[in-house]
Amino acid sequence: MANKILAVLEQREGQLKRSAFETVGMAAKLASELNLEVEAVVTGNEISNINDIGSYGISKVIHLKNPDFENYSSSGYRDAVTDYANESDADYLLLANTSMGKDLAPLLGVKLNAGCIMDCVNIDVSSGNLIATRPVYAGKALIDVKPKSAKIVITIRPNVFKPVPGGSSSPQIEVREISSPNLQTRVVEFKKAEGKLDVAEADIIVSGGRGMKGPEHFDLIEELADLLGGAVGASRPVVDAGWRPHSEQVGQTGKTVSPSLYIACAISGAIQHLAGMSSSKYIVAINKDKEAPIFSVADYGIAGDVFEVLPALIEEIKKIKA
């Protein structure tokens, strides 16, 4: 029988990411439902906010430490986490479905002979069994999956399981220096996109489509996104035309997003676009064609000219933020 859940956390530049706390919260919840022990493990060098884990329900953190772990190394992280998972007899590993999680989870899966269930949006426990739900076909359908192997690696979609901080106890932190890590595959440089929030991690997204007519009009989209503390998204033709970078594309061949609020500006709502964003909590559509399919998924719509509506929306938001 399974005896331990390990939350495998992600840090970037010495900071645990928000999705790490979501992972901690979910691991703690599963542990109590399955009546298992739970621990967190994080690979890195100095980690400034490691103590914050205590408020999310895990009392013991293993810090696998090495100066070379400041940057991600799939081979190094894999070996360090595998060794600890084996030593601590963990049967469940939980990660966030981020770039790192998607890379690392399957490597750990093979090492531990554990099946992988990726990108879960719900995890149910009934009579001691775990059933995970994940989107397929970019969210056009969902599947319920159960593990068949004794060990299992699960990743959870960022932004779905909002962690609720409880009391704040300081966790017990066990630092383990990892000597001569395996750096066969390693990140040698990180090129940061200038200070912009990534669509996949944003809680609010303002997205523009072909109806924006040209890259210069994305000033409006950017201004609204900045005001709301959100990210800029785009439909595929906008990216293909080079108006916006590919990293902003939302949809079946772009990113799948589930923010609290998605504002679609001059986007028709083609099936491939809807696939990537229809699980957003609230959707607003601004489109001059009232028959546009985007309105079939929008909670609120304005069937008007984006160049008339957006400036007014920006002004109204400025008023409430003032």
Partner 1 sequence: MKIAVCVSHVPDTATKVKVSSDGVSIDPTGVTYIINPYDEYAVEEALSTKEKLGNNSEVVVISVGSDKSKETIRKALAMGADSGVLLKDDNPRDSFAVAKALSEEIKAQGCELVFCGKQSVDYDNTITGQLVAEMLGYSCIPVIVEFNLEGNKITAEREIEGGREIVETVLPAVLTAQKGLNEPRYASLRGIMTAKKKTIEEKPAADAESLTEVLKMHLPPPKKAGRILGTDSSAVPELVSLLREEAKVL
**Residues in touch with ligand FAD (CB under 6 A):** 209-211, 235-238, 249-254, 266-268, 270, 272-273, 276, 287-289, 292, 305-307
Measured from the CB atom, the residue of 196 and 210 that comes closer to ligand FAD is: 210
Piece in contact with partner 1 (CB under 8 A), picked from 23-31, 62-70, 165-173, 288-296: 288-296
As given in the structure block, the two tokens for residue 76 are: 């190094």
| Residue 60 interacts with, from partner 1, ligand FAD, none (CB under 5-8 Å by kind) | none
Exposure string (b/e) for 147-164, b if CB count within 10 Å is 16 or more?
A: beeebbbbbbbbbbbebe
Amino acid at 201: E
Contacts of 295 (CB under 8 A, 6+ apart): 269, 285, 287, 301, 303
Nearer to ligand FAD, 24 or 292 (CB): 292
Q: Which residue in this structure is represented by tokens 């928000």?
A: 18
Residues 41-70 interacting with partner 1 (rule: CB under 8 A):
none
> Interaction with partner 1 in 242-261: which residues (CB under 8 A)?
246-247, 252-253, 256, 260-261
Residue with tokens 């986490």: 81
Please give the Cα distance from 187 to 185 (Å, whole number): 7
Tokens 């970019």 belong to residue: 138
Which DSSP category does 171 fall into?
Answer: P
Comparing CB distances to ligand FAD, the nearer of 164 and 271 is 271
| Residues 21/56, Cβ–Cβ less than 8 Å | yes
Of these partners, partner 1, ligand FAD, none, which one is at the site of residue 36 (CB under 5 to 8 Å by kind)? none
**In angstroms, what is the minimal distance from the CB of 136 to ligand FAD?**
16
Residue 227 binding: pick among ligand FAD, partner 1, none (C-beta 5-8 Å cut-off by kind) = none
Q: At what angle do helices 74-87 and 99-112 cross, to 10 degrees?
A: 50
In whole angstroms, the minimum distance from the beta carbon of 190 to ligand FAD comes to 25
Query: Which of ligand FAD, partner 1, none does 295 bind, CB closer than 5 to 8 A by kind?
Result: partner 1
Binding segment toward partner 1, per CB under 8 A, in 33-41, 108-116, 173-181, 208-216: 108-116
Which structure tokens are listed for 30?
């599963």
**Distance between CA 101 and CA 119 in Å, rounded?**
10
Q: Torsions phi, psi of 26, nearest 5? A: -70, -40
Restricted to residues 109-128, the positions that interact with partner 1 (CB under 8 A) are 109-111, 113-119
